[in-house]
Amino acid sequence: MKITVLGSGSAYGTPMILNRWDGSDASDSRNRRLRASLFLEDEGKNLLVDAGPDLREQINRENINDFNAVFITHAHYDHIGGIPELPRACKLLGHKIDIYASAATLEEIRQCYAYLFSGSGEPDSGSLNWHVLTDEPADIGGLKMDVFFVPHHHMQSCGFRYKNFAYVTDWQDLPAAAAKKIDGTELLLAECNNGMQPSANGHSSWPEIAPRLTGLNLQQIVLTHLAARVDYQTFQNQLPPNVRVAYDRMVINI
């Protein structure tokens, strides 16, 4: 299994608009972050996780030339801003793309991009196959996954476990049902937007994450979806040996 971190940044990226770094060292390339997304490759299948506003740049940068499906965690802009790129991808690939999201997330996507569902204004939008996720095991583009939900602001964000890999983003707590599903994984890739500084913004910091994971058997933890104020090296120096900070284009093989 190969996991590529397409983007390790928060909703605003690093640097933010107006070239603001907000405390991150601009000379460290690992601090230059596009919006959070990843690409999973296994068993001849390619899965895109989230489609934010940097999607086209991420796909082109990594020379990705095909994918089977898209998993959408929730409907905030930094995770769905690139969805309008997908009809054109269908046309160029010559096949349909399956998109998986919870019922609530799908409804918000419909409100944001009504023209993709109305049959007008985007002739290739009919090539998108929409599927509703629940907390039951699911076949996601040919990959068997355990799906779970975590609270984020007023909504829920959808995470998953695939074999020995688990992914969770935009979370402010870990319900027992979700913890049970990620227990025993070789790798947990998780949002840590706030670094070492807790903030009541619907996201997580390492001081909040560490207690949630107490008692769980996790070999590796990689932290992603990082705000501009979180400097890569400073943050890495404060973490335990089995916890790493993600960066754009990071590749993990398990």
Would you place residue 242 in the very low, low, confident or very high pLDDT band (cuts 50, 70, 90)? very high
Would you place residue 118 in the very low, low, confident or very high pLDDT band (cuts 50, 70, 90)? confident
**CATH architecture classification, 2-246:** 4-Layer Sandwich (3.60)
Query: Which sequence spans correspond to the domains of the chain?
Result: 2-246
User: How many percent of the chain have pLDDT more than 70?
Assistant: 97
pLDDT higher than threshold 90 for residue 167: yes
| Pair 3, 244: CB distance under 8 Å | no
Q: What is the pLDDT of residues 193-236, one digit of tens each?
A: 999 999 989 899 999 999 999 999 999 999 999 999 999 999 99
Q: What is the mean pLDDT of residues 51-64?
A: 98
Would you place residue 122 in the very low, low, confident or very high pLDDT band (cuts 50, 70, 90)? low
Q: What is the pLDDT of residues 68-98, one digit of tens each?
A: 899 999 999 999 999 999 999 999 999 999 9
The per-residue pLDDT for 153 is 87
The per-residue pLDDT for 123 is 65
The per-residue pLDDT for 127 is 85
The per-residue pLDDT for 29 is 98
pLDDT higher than threshold 70 for residue 55: yes
What pTM, to 2 d.p., does this model score? 0.96
| Pair 97, 86: CB distance under 8 Å | yes
DSSP letters spanning 207-222: HHHHHHTTT---SEEE
- Listed in order, strand segments (DSSP E) in the chain are 2-7, 37-42, 45-49, 69-71, 97-102, 128-133, 138-140, 143-152, 155-162, 165-168, 187-191, 220-224, 243-245, 251-253
pLDDT higher than threshold 60 for residue 121: no
Mean pLDDT score of the chain: 95
Q: 29-33, 107-111, 127-131, 186-190: which range is least confident on average?
A: 127-131
Q: What is the mean pLDDT of residues 46-69?
A: 97
